[in-house]
């Protein structure tokens, strides 16, 4: 692939570009797949390969229409705003490009004005009226910003209660009946996507488009020659949620609120509508009360022990029916009333689908501090993924830094709905891990991870790293309980280091402070195991408390295990272990992000060497220098830093 070789287009255009043989191999594999469409390709590209350039270059050079899907909005923005323009400029090619996010990212003109009416009303609470300055700022943003992407506004935090009130959902959008349809940011974004040569989306949108195509409705996205699924390891879990059914208390409350608002504005004489909406809110409140104190995730059969919740679910269904009946004679009074009645009917259908128990799904409940969600999730998303991929004939490239367990892609292929003999490439990192990084784990081993003193033992063993690490560090946990216990210990024993703890501040703020500090310790759970790119001395040590096996009491995992056992297969060897290996690779991947990085990876879990399956974890990690002594690891780090500084 000449463009990525020494003296090629990228080397000439980009200062500091380093040609990498693994990157060239990946680009050649993608180029080959493009020539064989429809086909599929699995590529594991370790940190440092440069997989983004490796798939963009052949797609752009071939002048193919392409769809690139990423796992998160952050990666979407990075790809669209930085990587794609960089490669296009280097190649001297100016395709039409578009960035398309889910509708909840775009300001909705109509709902913004509804929120303004709520906030400015004389009878409203003062807390609502205090929102008016924010709403005025959003109005100004809507007038001046070309895309309406709220993430670029800097006005609302993502967890702001106002966010869902000024954006639309599939359920509450008025569509072509909306009085502001011609100015709709979502409609404009979709038009740009339809006209583009390269469209950058996220996995949720990719799945939505595939579902629309299968159902015979209009597509969100154009016909393309290539579909690139970046961060492909995330797709199966996202697909499981997408292909499932969910009925949440927040959505039900929002529906009742919108019904009352529309009734006040367009049918004030029809008090039965308001009464039915209030009754729905009452039932939702009962649902929240009945699930108070339950586990954060639990199987429905456990929550519904001896059928104690069945009457309440029937009451919820009855409240939705009554609300739909009350709205039926009012729909001609305006599109808003017609739309909320459609939402009521859709919510009834979802509740009925949730109650429809099938052998290939599991019903479970998710409880948050202020809300509850009833889920029905497919045990395996592989079949619908395969069906939807077949409906869009193209070259499909699935890539991630974590797809293979050792050399084996079987687990990833099965979960993605691909044949196990699909074309595969596994590309090692070009970084010199033996010279740049050290893996340390305890000797003698620490207590069993289920021991009540385990977290304290982890902190005691890792104390030299925690105290003497010259840069910043991540302490990653598999549970929030262990995270909080460690935070309490470190606050008492490590007062001279800045301690940043997940849950105490927004994730973006924690990362910004971590980068700025250069010597802080960040204590994080699942959301910090991946999608974090911190280079240099700000992150020189990563400590992992346990091998990241999923919680054994997770209701979806339990149901999948039972299904595999029924087929005579091993849930541990075929699912739990491969998933944990891939998760550990993600966590370990936070450490070395650049050829000039150096660092220490510390894994506390005694099962790494005490169990036979520990070899599977070790075989999947890069070839670190290894030691059993934290002090020796720090000495290695000092030497590596000196060596890299001299190079």
Question: Could you state, in order of their start, the residue ranges of all structural domains in the chain?
Answer: 2-96+196-241+381-427, 103-187, 245-378, 433-646
**What are 170-228's pLDDT values in tens digits?**
878 888 888 899 999 999 998 999 999 999 999 998 988 876 654 444 567 888 999 99
Residue 130 or 67, more confident: 67
Q: What does the pLDDT read at residue 218?
A: 52
Q: Is 575 helix (H, G, I), strand (E, B) or coil?
A: helix
**Nearest Cα to 443, choosing from 636, 603, 591?**
603
Q: What does the pLDDT read at residue 467?
A: 95
Residue 610 has pLDDT above 60, yes or no: yes
Could you tell me where the beta strands, DSSP code E, fall in 304-448?
A: 361-367, 372-378, 395-400, 423-427, 437-440
Q: Are the beta carbons of 163 and 29 closer than 8 angstroms?
A: no
Can you list the pairs that 267-276 forms with residues at least 24 positions away whose Cβ atoms lie under 8 Å? 267/330, 267/333, 267/337, 270/326, 270/329, 270/330, 272/326, 273/323, 273/326, 273/327, 273/330, 275/326, 276/319, 276/322, 276/323, 276/325, 276/326, 276/327
4-13, 173-182, 197-206, 623-632, range with the lowest pLDDT? 173-182
pLDDT above 70 covers a percentage of the chain that reads 97
Average pLDDT, the chain: 92
Residue 70 CA to residue 174 CA, distance in Å, equals 29
Tell me what the mean pLDDT of segment 89-99 comes to: 95
Q: What does the pLDDT read at residue 73?
A: 83
Tell me what the mean pLDDT of segment 449-469 comes to: 96
Q: How many angstroms separate the Cα of 372 from the Cα of each of 42, 265, 313, 347, 368? A: 37, 30, 13, 15, 6
- Which fold does the domain 245-378 belong to in CATH? 1.20.120
pTM check: above 0.85? yes
Tell me what the mean pLDDT of segment 255-268 comes to: 92
- Which fold does the domain 2-96+196-241+381-427 belong to in CATH? Rossmann fold (3.40.50)
Burial zone of 292 (CB within 10 Å; 0-12 exposed, 13-18 middle, 19+ buried): exposed
Q: Is 475 helix (H, G, I), strand (E, B) or coil?
A: strand
Confidence label for 121 from pLDDT (cuts 50, 70 and 90): low
The listed CATH number (1.10.510.10, 3.40.50.300, 1.10.3430.10, 3.30.365.10) that belongs to domain 433-646? 3.40.50.300
The distance from CA 332 to its chain's CA centroid, rounded to whole angstroms, is 41
Same fold, 245-378 and 433-646: no
Any idea what the Cα angle at residue 71 is, between residues 68 and 77, rounded to 5°?
A: 65
Residue 173 CA to residue 336 CA, distance in Å, equals 9
What is the 3-state secondary structure of 88-99? Answer: HHHHCCCCCEEE
Can you list the pairs that 140-143 forms with residues at least 24 positions away whose Cβ atoms lie under 8 Å? 141/107, 142/107, 142/109, 142/112
**What is the DSSP-derived secondary structure letter of residue 196?**
-
Q: What does the pLDDT read at residue 217?
A: 43
**What is the DSSP-derived secondary structure letter of residue 8?**
S
Q: What does the pLDDT read at residue 122?
A: 43
Residue 523 has pLDDT above 60, yes or no: yes
The distance from CA 451 to its chain's CA centroid, rounded to whole angstroms, is 31
């Amino acid at each position: 692939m000449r463009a990525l070789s020494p003296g090629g287009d990228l080397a000439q255009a980009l200062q500091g570009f380093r040609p990498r043989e693994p990157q060239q191999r990946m680009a050649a594999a993608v180029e080959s797949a493009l020539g064989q469409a429809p086909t599929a390709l699995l590529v594991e590209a370790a940190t440092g390969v440069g997989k983004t350039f490796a798939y963009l270059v052949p797609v752009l050079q071939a002048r193919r229409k392409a769809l690139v899907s990423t796992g998160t909005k952050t990666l979407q923005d990075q790809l669209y705003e930085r990587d794609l323009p960089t490669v296009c400029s280097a190649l001297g090619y100016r395709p039409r490009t578009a960035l398309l996010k889910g509708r909840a990212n775009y300001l909705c003109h109509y709902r913004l004005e509804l929120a303004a009416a709520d906030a400015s009303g004389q009878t409203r609470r003062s807390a609502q009226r205090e929102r008016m300055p924010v709403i005025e700022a959003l109005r100004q943003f809507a007038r001046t910003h070309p895309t309406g992407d709220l993430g670029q506004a800097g006005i609302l935090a993502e967890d702001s209660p106002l966010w869902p009130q000024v954006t639309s959902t599939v359920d509450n959008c008025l569509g072509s009946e909306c009085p502001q349809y011609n100015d709709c940011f979502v409609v404009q974004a979709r038009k740009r996507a339809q006209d583009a040569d390269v469209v950058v989306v996220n996995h949720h949108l990719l799945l939505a488009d595939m579902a629309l195509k299968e159902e015979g409705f209009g597509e969100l996205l154009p016909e393309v020659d290539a579909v690139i699924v970046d961060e492909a390891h995330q797709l199966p879990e996202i697909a499981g949620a997408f292909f499932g059914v969910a009925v949440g208390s927040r959505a039900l409350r929002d529906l009742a609120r919108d019904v009352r608002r529309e009734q006040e504005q367009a049918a004030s004489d029809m008090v039965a509508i308001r009464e039915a909406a209030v009754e729905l809110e009452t039932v939702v409140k009962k649902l929240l009360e009945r699930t108070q104190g339950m586990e954060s995730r639990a199987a429905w059969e456990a929550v519904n022990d001896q059928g104690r919740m069945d009457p309440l679910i029937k009451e919820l269904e009855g409240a939705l029916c009554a609300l739909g009946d009350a709205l039926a004679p009012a729909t001609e009074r305006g599109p808003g009333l017609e739309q909320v009645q459609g939402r009521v009917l859709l919510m009834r259908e979802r509740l009925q689908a949730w109650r429809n128990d099938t052998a290939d799904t599991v019903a479970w409940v998710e409880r948050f501090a202020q809300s509850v969600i009833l889920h029905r999730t497919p045990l395996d998303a592989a079949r619908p993924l395969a069906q939807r991929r077949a409906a869009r004939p193209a070259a499909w490239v699935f890539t991630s830094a974590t797809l293979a367990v050792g050399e084996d892609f079987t687990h990833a292929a099965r979960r993605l709905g691909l044949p196990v003999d699909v074309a595969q490439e596994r590309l090692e990192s070009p970084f010199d891990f033996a010279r740049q990084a050290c893996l340390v784990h305890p000797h003698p081993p620490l207590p069993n991870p289920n021991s009540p003193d385990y977290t304290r033992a982890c902190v005691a063993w890792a104390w030299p790293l925690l105290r003497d690490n010259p840069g910043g560090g991540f302490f990653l946990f598999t549970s929030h309980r262990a995270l909080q216990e460690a935070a309490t210990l470190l606050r008492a024993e490590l007062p001279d280091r800045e301690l940043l703890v997940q849950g105490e501040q927004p994730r973006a703020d924690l990362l910004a402070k971590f980068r700025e500090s250069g010597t802080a310790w960040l204590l994080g759970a699942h959301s910090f195991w991946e999608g974090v790119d911190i280079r240099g001395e700000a992150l020189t040590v990563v400590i992992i408390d346990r091998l990241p096996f999923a919680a054994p009491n997770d209701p979806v995992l339990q149901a999948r295990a039972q299904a595999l056992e029924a087929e005579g297969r091993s849930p541990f060897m075929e699912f739990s272990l491969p998933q944990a290996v891939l998760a550990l690779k993600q966590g370990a991947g936070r450490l070395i992000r650049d050829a000039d990085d150096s660092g220490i990876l510390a894994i506390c879990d005694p099962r790494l060497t005490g169990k036979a399956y520990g070899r599977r974890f070790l075989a999947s990690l890069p070839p670190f220098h290894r030691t059993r002594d934290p002090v020796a690891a720090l000495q290695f780090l000092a030497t590596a830093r000196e060596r890299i500084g001299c190079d």
